[in-house]
Structure formats: structure tokens, C-alpha cells
Amino acid sequence: MTTSFYQRYKRFTQLAAVPFISALIVSCGTSGTSSKDFSAGDQASSSKSYASLDWTLPETAEAAEFMANCQQRFEQADTQFKLLQQSEFSSDLDFLKGMNGLEKTIHNTLAPASLKANVHPNKEVRESAEKCEQNFISLISDIGLSGSLFKRMSRVDQAVLDAKAKRYVGESLREFRRSGVNLDKASQQTLKTLVDEINAIGQDFQKNIREDVRSIVVKNEAELAGLPQDFIDSHRDEASGDVIVTTNYPDYFPVIQYAKSDALRLRVYNEFKNRGYPANEEVLKNLLKKRHQVAELLGYSSYAQYAMETLMIGSPENAQAFITEIADVSADRSEQEYQQLLKRLQKIQPDATEVKDWQKTYIAELVKKEQYKVDSQKVRQYFRYDRVQKGIFELTEKMFRVQIRPMQGDLWHESVTAWEIVERGEVLGQFYLDMHPREGKYQHAAAFTIQDGILDEQLPIKALVCNFPEGDAFMEHGQVETFLHEFGHLLHGIFGGNQPWLAQSGIATERDFVEAPSQMLEEWVWDFTTLKSFAINDKGQSIPSSLIKKLQASRDFGQGLFTRHQMFYAALSLNYYMQDPDTIDMNTMAAELQNKYSNFDFVDGTHFQYSFGHLDGYSAVYYTYMWSLVIADDMFSEFEKNGLLNTKIAKRYRREVLEPGGSLDAADLVENFLGRPYTFDAFARRFK
């Protein structure tokens, strides 16, 4: 993400394990703007600058139709933009409604384009969607640089506005400044060029990850020992008899968790950690350089400073302090857990002096099985995909007193399903489920926005995109947790999607809060009362309470190791964007930071950073996952005290945290729900 207005229109970007949200906006320059500044911005917005855009129609009919529709929407938005700059308005409110309408046109084009670029089975449609996004960048840049719109917004009399409209105006002014409206004409043109380049580079980065699916052929049956038989059977090639596994998540995790063969796990690990390499090496370096140039042009020392100034964290220095604090808090616990893993590994490899990164999941599985009596393969028999989906729907209906029912929808693949959420006969929002892997599809798990809601104008529409085993296949308990996490984003977007201003609709809070509601919802997959209703094996037996108790007892094991490893990811994200990219050796820094923060050393020959998609979408702010978890733990304490299925608490949570969207600061949302400011106390208990 780049300048402020582009971020505003890119709030639909996937919320993954994405993902986003509200604009990352900061004040830049002085509060006043001269007439020279205004004229420079308006010159930059001349339609002549769009002459070079490529609207060539693809050969495929579906892709051609998509591109033609995108061009029509572009021309509509351009016309709205010109009218807003040239028209006189009878009232400030009419002007604000015009701005809201422009944002609606752009957002309703770019949101579905982002989804199609990541999930559509037709490669030409995916490429057309990427081109559609790219073509809108010039227009979006011109909006942010429009001196006349900034001047008109500055004249709005905020004293007569309600709180939401006043917030909308204040944030819009801040975004104009952040977008470079105060820069001279030459600098504005440089910024426009950088915005175009960064979007294209980011698309290439994600595409290289998405399309780099590698295969590992297993000819030696002995290497398959430990893997579930249903997994082996479903991956056997009929012609050769070999078992073929890929680097897609449903293949990678069972191998890394269950395969007894250290050699097989290492082979799969190496391929998985090298996705996107070498193609993304130059791409990532270029992304860092261009974003650093944007930050310097706007008066910031680094892109990290630019990204964090209006977040809850405030600054890169605060982010680094947070990373250090969390790493320190979890240090003793993680070392104890590491020694447990090492001791268990030495039963297999007596001369082992360290646990390797590709060994940790397998050895942790053994420890849980032996010390906590948790056998994940026995657990997974209770989690067939179709029953899990039904259970998550029923949990939602029970907690929030709504109904989820199927609907007719515009499906992009035969495996996609369409649904709507209804309350007392009123449709609150719609969503799609695209839950299973296929060629060319986004490889992780995320919630996408197709359309954010506007009060009395349009419903919120979301899409859940995951890569879980299909219908009657078994899921891991961790995948069930991921399902509920991503569904939490979907619910946040729908319940919060009833605002008058598009910029405040849905998941529009500060970036470092947006994971908290989903992280809190993960707690329900550890609750027996919740699980017994849908965790049912093929004999019709619900998961026994004794097994849930074992799961709960084993849950705390690995918390320290997980947290320290997360701090490696956070530090990598921060440090890549906190320094001049010309001074960074990306490979060396990745290795050094993993060795510093994680208990598991960097593995030579791997290049994790080139498949770390969050370096594009989240840029410097990956710390947000742990920051949000602190808040999630505090919010969950209300349910913990009053009951996980307490509908009164759920109603208050929905009203105070989810429904306001981005109409209040995140700290205020949490305080309104808890009746006090959030604290670190609940999170700290994880490590006691």
C-alpha cells in the first residue's frame, strides 16, 4: 500500500491470518495550502494523464466483459471527480455526499477486482483484474492531489455536523495531506509515478507466490510412515503409484506434522520456504525502495514511520519496544519448551544438539501425544469439513441471534457457495465461501471484501477464501481455528457494514486492532460446549469431553515458542521498512533476525521472506497480530466471566465493538465494551 487515498480505497485488501481495513493516514506538511499548491494539484488531475492506460480487451469473453465493465466504471468515477472539482454545492452535506459517491464507485470496482485477481479460475480474468486495479491508480492519485477538493473539504463547517460526519471530514483532510496535496507540482508527479509502480510491484510479488506451487514426489513408501492413510490415498498418482504432495497448505502441514521421515519433512520444508524465490528477490527489493522513496518525499524518515503514525502503536520506536517486550516476556517460557522438544528429539537422534525449524512441529506433536495424551490424528476424525462449516454457522446464529441461509449468487467456481445473514427478516449482509485449493488461487486463508455497506444504499458483501480439505475430508483442529478466525473478519465486516460513510464501513478501524475480534473468536474452538455440537466422527459420536480436556491442557505448550517466532516475523517486517533499503542485505537480515528472536535457527538455503505475502499488504506492521492478541485476550475475559454463549454479552460486544465499524477509535470501542481501558493483564497470564 502506498499513499493515503489509495489505502482508503484498498480497505478491502484481504484480512489474512488480511486483510485491511482503514486508511493508514498521517498528517504531512502544514495545515494551510497556498493557491499555487491547489493549482498544481488540479493540473495533475487532468484527464490527459489517463491517455496511456491500457484498456485492450482480452480474447476470453469473460475477461473482455470484466475489462469493459472496469473501463466503464473508471469513466464514471472520472466524471464524478471532475464534477466534484468544478461544481458549486448548495450545502456542505451535498458536497460530502458527492465525495461518498465517488468513493463508492471506486470501491465497488476495486474490491471485486482484488478478489477476482486472487481467486478466479480463468487466468485471463485474474490478469484483467490486476490491470483494472493498476489503471485506477492514476485516478486515485489525482484525487489525493486535488487542491480544489482539499480546499473545498477545508471549508466544510464541522460545527454543524454530527460526530460521524465530522470524523469523516477530519480523516479526509488528513488523507489529502498524506497523499501529497501540499507538494509542488514536480514532486506530485513523482509521487504519482511511485504509486503506479508500487501497486504493480505488489501485484507481481503476490502473483509470484500464488503461482509458485511446487510438487514433491515420494517414491519410497517408508517415507510416508506416520501420515494419515486417507491423506496418502488421496495423494497417490494412479499411473505411477507415487505419492505427490505440493506446497499448498493442506499438503504441507500434514507432512510437517506427522511424517516420521526427517528427510521428507526437510524436502517439503525447503520447497515451501522457497516459494516465490528467486523471482521475488528483485521484486521485494524494488518494493522496499519505492516505498522508502514515498516516505522521504512526504517528509518521513522511513516507510515504517509513515505507516505507523496514526495507528495505535504510534511509531516504529514504539513497535520495536513492543516486539522487545513481548520477546522478553516469553523468553523463559520458550526456552523451557525448547528444552522439552530437544529432549524428545534426542530419543530419536541421540547426538542432536538443537531442534531444527523443520523438526519443531513433528516433535511438538510427539510431546503433546506422550505428555498430554493428545493424538492429533484421533482429534481430526471429529472434524470433517462439511460438519465444521455447519457448526460455525450454528455458533454464529446462536451467539448473535441471526440466521444464515443459502442464496443465489454470482459464483466464480463450482465449489463456491453463497449465503446471507438475516435478522428478524432483514438481510444484514451476504457472503461467499471459496474454501478449497485449486490452481492459480490465493494459497493462504483470508477474508476479502466484495462490497462495503452504506446505510440505506448497499449491503456489505464478503468472501472467505481458504484452502481446506474438501467436503468429506478431515481437518486439523488448527484449521478449524483458522476457519473461525477468518469467519470473525467476515462477521466484523458485515455487522459493521451499516455506516453512512463508506470510509467508516466494515473493518475500518486502525490496522493494529483489526485482528483482535477474530483472535478472540478463536477461543470458542477450545470450548467443549461449542465443539460437541459439530465435532462428530463418522460413527455419529461427539468428541468426548476427556479429549477436549487433553487438548486444553496441551494448548499452553508451545505458547512461548510460537510467540518468539512471531516476533521474528514482526521484526523482519519492521526492519525491512525502518531502514534505507540500499543498506539492507535482505537474506542476511532475515537469517540474523530469525536467529535473534526465534528459538529455531535460520535454515541455510531457504528464503522465507519471498513468500511472506504480508510484506506487501501489511508492510511494516506485522506486529499487529500480537498487539491485537493482547486486546483480544482482554475482551475475551468478559465472555470467560459470563459464559461463552452468553447472548447478552455477545449482543453488547456486537453493538460496542463490531457495529460501529470505523466510526470510533479502536481504544474507545474496547473501552465501551469493557467499561475500562484495555490492559495487558489477560495476555500476560499466557506465560505464567
Please name which of 324, 218, 228, 306 lies closest in space to residue 263, comparing C-alpha atoms. Answer: 218
Q: 659 to each of 127, 439, 482, 636, 645, how far by Cα in Å?
A: 35, 36, 23, 17, 19
- What was the pLDDT predicted at 84? 96
Rounded mean pLDDT, 546-555: 91
Alpha helices, DSSP H only, in 120-162?
Answer: 123-144, 147-154
Q: Which fold would CATH assign to domain 4-206?
A: Glutathione S-transferase Yfyf (Class Pi); Chain A, domain 2 (1.20.1050)
Ranges of each domain in the chain: 4-206, 213-246+248-262, 385-555
- What was the pLDDT predicted at 3? 52
Grid cell locating 315: 511509531
**354 DSSP 8-state letter:** S
- What was the pLDDT predicted at 196? 87
Tens digits of residue pLDDT in 467-507: 998 878 899 999 999 999 999 999 999 999 999 999 999 99
By CB atoms closer than 10 A (0-12, 13-18, 19+), residue 186 is exposed
Is pLDDT above 70 for 10?
Answer: no
Average pLDDT over the chain reads: 91
Cis amide leading into 350 (omega within 30) = no
Please enumerate in sequence order all residues whose Cβ is within 8 A of that of 47, keeping only pairs 6 or more positions apart, or say none: 78, 82
Residue pair 496/658 in contact (Cβ under 8 Å)? The answer is yes
Q: β-pairing, 446-451 with 461-465?
A: antiparallel
Residue pair 462/432 in contact (Cβ under 8 Å)? The answer is yes
Rounded mean pLDDT, 65-72: 97
The confidence band for 4, taking pLDDT boundaries of 50, 70 and 90, is: low
Rounded mean pLDDT, 380-401: 97
CATH 3.90.245.10 assigned to 385-555: no
619 backbone φψ class: left, alpha, beta (φ>0; ψ -120 to 50)? left
Is pLDDT above 80 for 101?
Answer: yes
Please name which of 432, 426, 433, 387 lies closest in space to residue 403, comparing C-alpha atoms. Answer: 426
- What was the pLDDT predicted at 43? 41
Inter-residue long-range contacts of 415-424, CB under 8 Å, 24+ positions, other chains counted:
415/470, 421/396, 421/494
Q: How far apart are CA 167 and CA 500, in angstroms?
A: 12
Q: How far apart are CA 409 and CA 581, in angstroms?
A: 45
Rounded mean pLDDT, 442-453: 93
- What was the pLDDT predicted at 470? 82
Is pLDDT above 90 for 306?
Answer: yes
Tens digits of residue pLDDT in 175-221: 999 999 999 999 999 998 998 899 899 999 999 999 999 999 999 99
Report pTM: 0.86
Is pLDDT above 70 for 161?
Answer: yes
Residue pair 639/687 in contact (Cβ under 8 Å)? The answer is no
By CB atoms closer than 10 A (0-12, 13-18, 19+), residue 296 is middle
Tens digits of residue pLDDT in 16-65: 432 222 222 122 222 233 333 333 344 444 444 688 899 999 999 999 99
- What was the pLDDT predicted at 137? 86
Residue type, 529: T
Tens digits of residue pLDDT in 559-571: 999 999 999 999 9
Rounded mean pLDDT, 506-535: 95
